[in-house]
Amino acid sequence: MTGTGAPAPPRTLGVLGGMGPAATAEFLRLLTAAVPARSDHEHPRVLLLSDPGIPERTAAILAGSDEPLPAIRDGLRQLAAWGADLLAVPCNTAHAFIDRMDAELPVPLVHIIDATLRAAMRTSPDGGWLAATTGTVRSGLYQRRAAEHGYRLLVPDPAEQDRVHRAGVLVKAGRVDEAGALLRASAGRMWRQHDLPLLTACTELPIAYTAGGLPEERAVSSLAALAAACTDRLLAPVPVGVGGARS
């Protein structure tokens, strides 16, 4: 409620997607499913800017380039200008660049790495496997935050990492069944080493994981974690503030 007793205005989520399109579509599906709505009118207002032209994030990280940063910054600012008062980006690797502009964001952003690690710590307090793009692994985004929380996070060996990354690339190419088979084989090898859930920390990997017929309870989906965290923020009784804070 506002100070006058009138209902607070509905919150608007701005989603910068297109990295890649299939993951963005799946995020919106999960967000819709997460909202406890009984009618259209109880769902949050969502603005989507799907920009598949944003330069490839892993290639930039491996090359030591900031090439994706201006496009990501411009996209988030555009969403805020359109009226978003909360931001989300369903791409883990993009957050290596988002973290460099946190103070510049005009409205808060729900951080996918923080959301995924919180979900992992709740569901698997003994730790988990990091299944992510090579760019995300190389950036250390998850490893640093996990260390801050004292959370055990295992990283695949280089050969396995290449296969995990390839599974995400296959989803982007529309070859979902191949991605599922590849990730299923990788997951089996990782589980034989340590029986801990996979953090599917590339937003294509939850799609591959499902296609591979793998058990839902043995994964922590970064897409589902982001959708749940956004829902919590959108439905929270305290209005979202302004500024570059992240959640």
Nearest alpha carbon to residue 168 among 9, 17, 6, 20: 20
Catalytic residue among 15, 54, 60, 202: 202
Would residue 119 count as lying in a domain? yes
Would residue 133 count as lying in a domain? yes
194 and 125 in a common domain: yes
Domain span including residue 86: 12-111+225-235
pLDDT attached to residue 247: 59
205 and 106 in a common domain: no
pLDDT (tens digit, 0 to 9) for every residue of the chain, 247 residues total?
Answer: 344 444 455 689 999 999 999 999 999 999 999 999 999 999 999 999 999 999 999 999 999 999 999 999 999 999 999 999 999 999 999 999 999 998 899 999 999 999 999 999 999 999 999 999 999 999 999 999 999 999 999 999 999 999 999 999 999 999 999 999 999 999 999 999 999 999 999 999 999 999 999 999 999 999 999 999 999 999 987 544 444 446 5
pLDDT attached to residue 9: 57
C-alpha to C-alpha distance for 78 and 1, rounded to whole angstroms = 28
Put simply, whether the predicted model's pTM sits higher than 0.85 gets the answer: yes
162 and 119 in a common domain: yes
The question of whether 202 is a catalytic residue gets the answer yes
Q: Count other Cβ atoms within 10 Å, centred on residue 43.
A: 15
- What are the residues facing 109 on neighbouring strands? 87, 246
C-alpha to C-alpha distance for 124 and 117, rounded to whole angstroms = 10
Catalytic residue among 23, 91, 113, 211: 91
22 and 61 in a common domain: yes
Would residue 136 count as lying in a domain? yes
Would residue 246 count as lying in a domain? no
Q: Which residues of 168-201 are buried (b: 16+ CB within 10 A; e: fewer)?
A: bbbbbeebbebbbbbbbebbeebeeeeebbbbbb
CB 203 within 8 A of CB 171: no
The question of whether 230 is a catalytic residue gets the answer no
Radius of gyration of the chain measured on its C-alpha atoms: 18
